[in-house]
Amino acid sequence: MTSYADFYRRSIDEPDAFWAEQAKLIDWQRPFTRVCNYDNPPFVHWFEGGKTNLCHNAVDRHLKDRPDQAALIYVSTETGLEKTYSFAELHREVQRMAASLQALGVQKGDRVLIYMPMVAEAAFAMLACARLGAIHCVVFGGFASGSLASRIDDATPKVVVSADAGSRGGKIVPYKQLLDEAIRLSSHKPQAVLLTDRALAPMTMVAGRDHLWSALRAAHIDAQVPCEWLDSTDISYTIYTSGTTGKPKGVQRDTGGYAVALAASMTHIFDGRAGETYFSTSDIGWVVGHSYIIYGPLIAGMATLMYEGLPTQGLDKQADGGIWWRLVEKYKVTAMFSAPTAVRVLKKQDPALLKKYDLSSLRALFLAGEPLDEPTARWISEGLNVPIIDNYWQTETGWPLLTVANGVEQTPSKFGSPGIPMYGYRVKLLHESTGEELTQPNEKGVVVLEGPTPPGFMQTVWKDDARFVNTYWKTVPGKMVYSTFDWGIRDEDGYYFILGRTDDVINVAGHRLGTREIEESISGHAGVAEVAVVGVADSLKGQVAMAFVVPKDGSVLGDSAAALKLESEIMKRVDGDLGALARPSRVRFVSLLPKTRSGKLLRRAIQAVCEGREAGDLTTLDDPAALQQIRDRVQAG
């Protein structure tokens, strides 16, 4: 068996030979003539001359060997719907969707904006776009109209695919109303809107523009739409990520490089095998949903479980903190992908639920999206008794850049670390001011990548090459390197530890502290369920740390003596772990923290409230009551 060290070294020293080998994991309609073109750094073109198609690789090529095998397993605890599509059935549905889009004028190179809840039709739409060579742009469902309008104007879609509504915890989110308002606000007007009616909310149809999927599907029930063979370097999709300027950045991805990267990652990182079941709890509105709900598992010939609902709600709409484990047992899930926030939610449930179901099929739980603290990792590891594999990546990278590749060689994980550099990624730590490479263990620097970036990485920012170069490649003095904008250290074994965003650093009396480090210390206290630490302006010290803690025991919120006792214990813990300098000026207790609907903490909004500023764009805020609690605690002193 190849050692991972040798495998990685070959990817760096002999990239053409290495990636030509990985390219055999997918089908090519025409072979490529050049593996890597890096003639114009930092832009890189992979597998030039080759032609392929993402939908062919995800669906059509499996029809020969596994037409009746499960491909898409759809489960909604919001509507009680549970349905499995075989590869043959998925193939038919995707062709019906592709023919419907064609009937609305969609051709190769056109943009289709998808604004959908987690429904099977969203998967059909993404795959249909890939089939036609149209560029899909999935916008997270439930985004407010203003945010959606800015994306409509940037993507200029010919067609928008949407639905009457989504549902979260039984609360209806009226997508069609939000979309209508977004189109009213946008300068660009799509020529057609294709709608799935879930009978969750009333829809006002706009004559000549709006079309029901049910009607078009019926009209194209026997449609046969061949795959459009695309150049490897053709755009597959764009996906928006927030920018420092407030204008969203359209991360642009290719076709061939992305297909190869996903196929390789399913084998080497996720150890996925055809015929097995993969369960990612993410949303198609995020990059994880693109890579590891839709394309990656299907390319690997696996069934992919697409889930709509909370991790604490069953199919009967009753509280059920074991619903995910019930699904793992029922569908014999072998690899599961979730987020630390979700695990912290489950941590509040009855621990017996982890032992109630037969989880013997599960080989590993992968976690990403935010730093995984050691106490949470240890709790879920002991509860499930399977490897908990942290992985670190970004919308821009498309697939993990730091983790362990157990499909190549069984490699131990370290609690608190996402792992080691993945094949193809030239990861470095650089001094933020001098650009000097940091080579000694535990030196803190900015995590960067040297070019060429591997297949699957973003090509550029949609319609803005200059922004791509200036935002990502020119932040370190004298070096053209891609900045992740994250602090990190590397230990003596080569494992990386992410310490938080370079813009989340607190400067206390001239000393720089990562909020991540303070959070790690606080979360280790037995009485702490969740924590967020922000830097707040201070006239004496420049900034001080402020901690907001969700206690495990909710009675602390109404008991001032208990709150003071817990605050004191937390202060002492931080003193002991990091020194008095890192001690928060205050620990305030709340019942929940403000997060996006994908589970990321809105630290900047917390900081703004603490400093008496406007909290900014809150369109992704899951529960407004969370930020109001912060405001109330701050005002109470």
Average confidence score pLDDT of the chain: 92
Q: In the prediction, which pLDDT does 511 show?
A: 56
Report d(CA 43, CA 496) in Å as an integer: 26
Looking at the predicted structure, is the pLDDT value of residue 326 above 70? yes
Q: Tens of pLDDT along 536-585?
A: 887 667 688 999 999 999 999 989 999 999 999 999 888 777 767 788 99
For the segment 35-48, the average pLDDT, to the nearest whole number, is 98
Which of 244-253, 413-422, 602-611, 627-636 ranks highest by mean pLDDT? 413-422
Percentage of residues of the chain with pLDDT beyond 90? 74
Q: In the prediction, which pLDDT does 2 show?
A: 84
Instruction: Out of 32-36, 42-46, 266-270, 523-527, pick the least confident.
Output: 523-527
Report d(CA 637, CA 634) in Å as an integer: 5
Cis, peptide link before residue 42, omega less than 30° from 0? yes
Q: What does the DSSP 8-state code read for residue 596?
A: B
For the segment 102-107, the average pLDDT, to the nearest whole number, is 98
Report d(CA 31, CA 52) in Å as an integer: 9
> Residue 509 — pLDDT band, cuts 50, 70, 90?
low
Q: Tens of pLDDT along 328-344?
A: 999 999 999 998 888 88
Q: In the prediction, which pLDDT does 277 show?
A: 98
For the segment 186-206, the average pLDDT, to the nearest whole number, is 97
For the segment 210-229, the average pLDDT, to the nearest whole number, is 98
Question: What is the CB neighbour count within 10 angstroms for residue 464?
Answer: 16
Looking at the predicted structure, is the pLDDT value of residue 107 above 50? yes
Q: In the prediction, which pLDDT does 242 show?
A: 64
Q: In the prediction, which pLDDT does 245 show?
A: 46
- In this structure, are strands 159-163 and 482-490 parallel, antiparallel, or unpaired? unpaired
Closest of 25, 456, 38 to residue 252, by C-alpha? 456
Q: In the prediction, which pLDDT does 244 show?
A: 46
Amino acid letter at 380?
I
Q: In the prediction, which pLDDT does 488 show?
A: 95
> Residue 374 — pLDDT band, cuts 50, 70, 90?
confident
Q: Tens of pLDDT along 290-315?
A: 999 999 999 999 999 999 999 999 88
Instruction: Out of 110-124, 452-466, 522-536, pick the least confident.
Output: 522-536
Instruction: Name the burial class of residue 551, with classes exposed (0-12), middle (13-18) and buried (19+) by CB atoms within 10 angstroms of its CB.
Output: buried
Instruction: Output the pTM of the full model.
Output: 0.84
Q: What angle do CA 33, 35, 41 make, to 5 degrees?
A: 120
Q: Tens of pLDDT along 234-282?
A: 999 999 986 544 577 899 999 999 999 999 999 999 999 999 999 999 9
Q: In the prediction, which pLDDT does 53 show?
A: 98
Percentage of residues of the chain with pLDDT beyond 70? 95
Q: Tens of pLDDT along 472-483?
A: 999 988 899 999
Closest of 444, 441, 450 to residue 499, by C-alpha? 444
pLDDT higher at 608 or 287: 287
Instruction: Name the burial class of residue 451, with classes exposed (0-12), middle (13-18) and buried (19+) by CB atoms within 10 angstroms of its CB.
Output: middle
Domain architecture of the chain: domains with CATH: 63-223 (3.40.50.980), 509-636 (3.30.300.30)
